[in-house]
Amino acid sequence: MRPSPRLLLASAMASVKVMSPGPMALLPPIYLYRRILRAHRKHLPSEMRLLGDEYVKAEFRAHRTVENPVHLIGFLTEWQLYAQKIEGDSWAGEKLDPGKVEKMSDEQLAQLYELMKAIQKSGTEGQNSGS
């Protein structure tokens, strides 16, 4: 008996579903926090590591009392994606996603601007001391 094309397609689709990764499991906050600090230690230059560590500590401290599950899941998801990028060394020179920037609140945009200024300031200080 010859298999029908429909059965062949169904079996092929089933094998694709098995091979595709499922949704990303979120790490608990403390494990994610430690993973980010380890990634900073391993993959960032010392001056960027200090800035990154301070920022991560402040963000996790500020979100410690968040009770809204949607905000918490969004927070943990973005930080987990950040950790994966840092660990993969694919982040250097990458631009921010315009869609994410559009969704940011005024407070988040101000925070992003302050972070940009701190990075630029540390970059110019490094150039001045290296000359």
pLDDT of residue 57: 95
What pTM was estimated for this model as a whole? 0.62
pLDDT of residue 34: 94
pLDDT of residue 27: 80
**How far, in Å, CA of 83 to CA of 26, rounded?**
12
Q: Which amino acid is at 27?
A: L
Angle at 86 between CA 84 and CA 91, to 5 degrees: 105
pLDDT of residue 6: 58
Tokens at residue 88, please? 């993969």
pLDDT of residue 35: 94
Q: Which residues of the chain have pLDDT under 70?
A: 1-24, 89-94, 123-131
**82 vs 68, 75, 87, 91, 92, CA distance in Å?**
21, 11, 9, 9, 12
pLDDT of residue 19: 52
pLDDT of residue 47: 82
pLDDT of residue 125: 65
pLDDT of residue 92: 63
**102 vs 11, 21, 70, 95, CA distance in Å?**
42, 29, 18, 14
Q: What is the pLDDT of residues 63-95, one digit of tens each?
A: 899 889 898 998 999 899 889 888 886 666 667
